[in-house]
Amino acid sequence: MSVLIRVLLCATLLLPATVYGQDVILRVAVASSLMPAMEEIKGVFESRYDITLELIPGASGTLTNQIMHGAPYDLFICANEQYGQLLFQKGFLEEPPRALVKGSLILWSDQPISNWSTDNTDTFILHAKSSDVQTIAIAQPHLAPYGDAAEAFLIETGILDQIKPKLIYGNNVSITNQYIYTHGANIVITSLASKIKLESKVPEYWYSLESDSNLVHTICRIKTKNEQSVNFQSFLLDPGTNSIFKQYGYTLIVQ
């Protein structure tokens, strides 16, 4: 083989995949509560780089189980710290999870709640126990961190056992929010980011909640051969990207 042919062959092997019309694809599992922000981030990222982001939404618990059973994801954006730590301990991650942002709860009601204030749990308790409220929707606590946080809030207020017959569940935040769209529940406890997305479409009544929920969202870099996962992780931690998360009501975490 001539020297020229060998040089051309090596150069061909080093060309990026996009030369052949094969986009570089990064598969990112995303907690459904983060999807509104991540869809906006996807647009910004793809406009700058020749990389296609494939976002796969779901409950953090469901996605964790899929990863442990071999789902071909490159990164996992999780709605709490526990699932990422579990994946790291079991050897599925390249490194410990990285803290990204912190989320918070919000309450949607199909009717006004009189004399509401974030620290007045008595007002919430009276309203939730009233005959005007037949159904209260939250995400599944054993699958979705926001459902776990909602249940913890109900325990904190001392009302969980009393209103259990009224509780209905969605498998993740996105499914739980369908009860807002359809007015299928009188109260929905969901993510603050959901309000940013839904408020213009379903105004009704939104109330902030004070709780001790630990909704620290994390980046989990899964053991794959896709080197672009490192670049996208850096992009997510960039101050410019952080500003998008902030627009959706997330609290930034100083790295």
Return the pLDDT at 9. Answer: 37
Percent of the chain with pLDDT over 70: 89
CA pair distance 91, 201, nearest whole angstrom = 43
> Residue 17 pLDDT > 50, yes or no?
no
> Residue 232 pLDDT > 50, yes or no?
yes
Q: What is the pLDDT of residues 187-222, one digit of tens each?
A: 999 999 999 888 888 878 998 887 767 799 999 999
Of residues 253 and 235, more confidence is placed in 235
CA pair distance 106, 168, nearest whole angstrom = 17
Of residues 16 and 242, more confidence is placed in 242
Return the pLDDT at 8. Answer: 35
- What is the residue-averaged pLDDT of the chain? 87
> How sure is the predictor about 114, in pLDDT bands with cuts at 50, 70 and 90?
confident
